[in-house]
Amino acid sequence: MAENKIWYGHPTVEALDWMNPNTLAESLHIRVTEIGPDYIKGTMPVDGRTKQPFGLLHGGASVALAETLGSIASWLCVNPELFIGVGIEINANHIKAVTGGIVTGVCKPIHVKGMNHIWEIKIYNENEELTCISRFTCSIVSKSKMQGIK
């Protein structure tokens, strides 16, 4: 087992199951599949939920996968009793069309210190070809400040 380098505690994929019900991730069937020492991986099917009208993976679905992975990664870096991460900026370059199968996102840190985290998320098709690259900025916010916003 690789040494834990950036995560708070010792997170597991199974410990994230509570996050999906009644969310966009559940609707798009986004799943975290691996937590490494300084990265997380997740998958999303390319099907009727995630395609645009011309049969290609919708760029917004790729961005949803990227932001989901980046948000989870930021949350895994902080004390979950005290903080959450909220996205404040994302960009994406769509490189190669995908018409079916499963895409896999790999989320790695660019900067993970203080109250802003920056992540690079690369999305690959089943042939391990790069289909999208995204950069995501997440702000770390106190849970106590979030109460009352719901």
Residue 44 amino acid letter: M
Q: Which band of pLDDT confidence, cut at 50, 70 and 90, is reported for residue 145?
A: confident
**Is the pLDDT confidence value at 139 over 90?**
yes
Q: Is the pLDDT of residue 2 over 80?
A: no
The CA distance from 74 to 83, in Å, is 10
Residues 6+ apart with CB under 8 A from 45: 29, 101, 102
pLDDT digits (tens, 9 = 90+) for 111-138: 999 999 999 999 999 999 999 999 999 9
Angle 23-7-22 from CA coordinates, rounded to 5°: 5
Residue type, 90: I
34 catalytic? Reply is no
Q: How confident is the model at residue 150 (pLDDT cuts 50, 70, 90)?
A: low
For 62-105, what is each residue's pLDDT tens digit? 999 999 999 999 999 999 999 999 999 999 999 999 999 999 99
Instruction: Please name each of the domains of the chain with its CATH number.
Output: 14-146 (3.10.129.10)
The predicted structure's pLDDT at residue 144? 86
- pLDDT (tens digit per residue) in 30-62: 999 999 999 999 999 999 999 999 999 999 999
Tell which phi-psi region holds residue 76, choosing left (phi > 0), alpha (psi between -120 and 50) or beta: alpha
Confidence check: pLDDT of 3 > 60: no
Catalytic residue among 14, 34, 67, 89: 67
